[in-house]
Amino acid sequence: MIDSIILSYTTFVYFAAFMLYLLAMVMNRELLARLGTYASLIGLTAQTVAIILRWAASYRMGIGHAPFSNLYESLIFFAWTLMLLYMIIEWRTRNRTFGTFVTPLAFLAMAYASFSPNISSHIQPLIPALKSNWLISHVITCFFGYAAFGVSFGLSIMYLLKRLDASEKKNIFLKLIPPRGILDDLNYQMMVIGFLMLTLGIITGSVWAHSAWGSYWSWDPKETWSLITWLIYAAVIHSRMVRGWKGKKIAILSMVGFFCVLFTYFGVNYLAGLHSYAQ
């Protein structure tokens, strides 16, 4: 399949982007960072094309459906949204150091999807329960949310690193990271977007479950973990809004939240459940 071939090359392009961003920070060369941006753009474009090709291919096979229906496709979509969000942030802030902390997540997701022996990249026909526009909205919103939380996770690491910086230190790597205030604001914005998207994701998922199984909420482990993730971020938003927590505490909580995201995504497969990704 041409699409999975393009996608596996994209994996390397993202890795190259990561290395370029990283080297740019270590060696303090703006040119390398710019090359990193080009690599990211090429990767994102190729990935977009591959996703569309895959979509078209499923229709040619007579089992047409949007390419968001199994673990492979969801990981690809996660990486895609992560890179899209990242490109928007880079463009808005005109700062390329974020790339060092976000591209590796996209690379890892792609690598896991493309090279794990347990994950099939075949286009599979959908069982009737998965044929639903609500399910497509569910996957899109959830993974947008996860990507925003992923960016927030990267920003939190940057924040914690930046704390090590001090005016008398000569560490270029740390100096290049934007000031803490900016990181903190951006981090909160990402969590807010993620929270909104996760809320939409849980709701669309419930609507789908309701039409497919007759129950909008059945406490299956995947559902429950998405609720746990949601509760954690709700707690973070409240602690910041109302108790005025900022900076380090929020960064650490964001990392806890992202751990919950990862568990919702992968860990739950080790618990029993009825989600189709758990194969």
Q: How far apart are the first and last CA of the chain?
A: 22
Q: Does 234 bind ligand HEM (CB under 6 A)?
A: yes
The residue to which tokens 């080009």 are assigned: 38
Can residue 238 be called a binding residue for another protein (CB under 8 A)? Answer: yes
By C-beta, is 130 or 234 nearer to ligand HEM? Answer: 234
Q: Where are the alpha helices (DSSP H) in the chain?
A: 2-27, 30-60, 71-93, 98-115, 133-162, 172-176, 180-213, 221-241, 247-265
Nearer to ligand HEM, 52 or 235 (CB): 235
SS3 262: helix
Decide whether 43 or 73 has the Cβ nearer to another protein.
73
Among 237, 256, 262, 278, which residue sits at the site for ligand HEM (rule: CB under 6 A)? 237
Instruction: Tokens for 270, please give them.
Output: 């080790």
Residues 49-68 that bind another protein (CB under 8 A): 63
Query: Near ligand HEM by CB under 6 A, which window of 11-19, 22-30, 162-170, 230-238?
Result: 230-238
Comparing every residue's Cβ against ligand HEM, the nearest one is 241
Stretch that binds ligand HEM, among 33-41, 133-141, 202-210, 231-239 (CB under 6 A): 231-239
Binding site for another protein (CB under 8 A): 63, 125, 127-129, 131-132, 192, 195-196, 199-200, 203, 206-208, 210-217, 219, 221, 224-225, 227-228, 231-232, 234-235, 238-239, 242-243, 268, 271-272
